[in-house]
Chain A
Amino acid sequence: MTTTFPLTGYGVKLSLLSEDKVEQVRLWRNHPEVANNMLDKSVISKSQQQRWFNSLNNQRQLYLVISYKEEDIGVIYALVDDGDDEKKAQPLNKANVIAPGLYIAPECQYRNSVLAFCPSLLFIDYLFQMQSCSYLKAKVFSYNTAAIRYNEALGYNKKDVDEDNLLTMTLSRENYQRAKNKLTKVLRF
C-alpha cells in the first residue's frame, strides 16, 4: 500500500524531512538536551548532516518532521531493525521489527507536555497499519526515566539492559491498542 505524506491526526502533522529543514533538525539534534539521550552523542557538522540527508533511503528509514499548528516542533523516525542479520536488509514495509524514535525541539514549549504523545500515536498507528512488522523496539538509556515512562504509557514493555546501559523496550500491537485506548481518553482529538 502506498502512503501519501504528510500524515495527519491527533492534532499534529508528520511531513517527510525536506532539504530546507535539514539544518533546523541538525541544530535540534546537536542540542545537549537531545544529544545526551542519543547513543551517538557527537556533534554533527553541517556537511555530515547534508551527507546523511543525501544518503537517506526512505525504503529502510523514515524521518518525519512533527508540526503542530504550523510550527515545527520535533522529529519522529523509524529504522528497520535487522537484529544481528544485516544481510536481511528488509525495507520498512516488510521488516519484522521496526525501531522508532522521537525528539521534541529542545526550546519547544510543548516539550514536557502531553502533546508529545500525539506524534507517537499517529506514527505508531501508521507503522502497525501500513507495515507488516510484528513489534516495535526502542532502546533508551536506563537513566532516562522520562523516556521510559513515556514508552510505558505507549504500552512498551521493559526488556534487558545491555553493557552500554541501554534498556530495550518492545511494543506489541495488542499492548499498543490497550495503551492507546487509555491515552485517547485524555487526548480526545
Chain B
Amino acid sequence: MTDNIKLIHAFSIALELPEHEVNDGLEYSSHKKWDSTAHMILVAQLENDFDVMFEIDDIIDMSSFAKAKEILLKYDEKLSL
C-alpha cells in the first residue's frame, strides 16, 4: 500500500466516507462529516497508521486533506504523499 493510499484509507475510516470522496479539496469547514469528533478519530488514526505523534498545534492546524499531507511530511519527509 502506498503512503497516499494509506492516507486516503485513514481519512475514509475516520470520516466514514467512501475513498473516492477523499481528495485535496476535502476540508473540515466544508464537509458535513468532518466534525470535532471525526477530527479526533482522524488524528488517532493517522498517528497509529503512520506511527507519529503530532504536536498539538499541528493537530489543530490539520484542517484539510492537503494540510494533513503537508503536516505528515514534516514528521517524515520520506513519505511519498
Chain A: residues with CB nearer than 8 A to chain B? 11, 109-117, 146, 149-150, 152-153, 183, 185-189
Contact = CB atoms under 8 A, between A and B. Distances in A.
Nearest to B30: A112
Given A112-B34, A150-B35, A187-B56, A117 B40 contact: yes
Given A146-B37, A150-B36, A109 B44 contact: no
Contact of B63 (A11, A109, A153): A109
Give the top 4 A-B pairs by smallest Cβ distance, nearest first: A116-B36, A149-B37, A146-B35, A114-B39
B52 to A, nearest CB: 12
Contact of B29 (A109, A116, A150, A152): A109
Contact of A114 (B47, B53, B60): B60
Contacts of B53: 188
Interface in B14-42: 28-29, 34-40
A171 B16 CA distance: 26
5 contacts: A112-B39, A114-B39, A114-B60, A115-B36, A150-B37
B72 interface: no
Interface residues of B, number: 17
A35 B43 CA distance: 30
B57 to A, nearest CB: 9
A113 B28 contact: yes
Contacts of A111: 29
Contacts of B28: 112-113
Contacts of B59: 114, 186-187
B36 A114 contact: yes
Contacts of B39: 112-114
Contacts of A188: 53, 56
A113 B59 CA distance: 9
Contacts of B40: 114, 117, 153, 183, 186
Chain B CB count within 10 A is highest, among A115, A183, A189, for A115
Given A146-B36, A146-B37, A149-B37, A110 B56 contact: no
A185 B59 CA distance: 12
A140 to B, nearest CB: 13
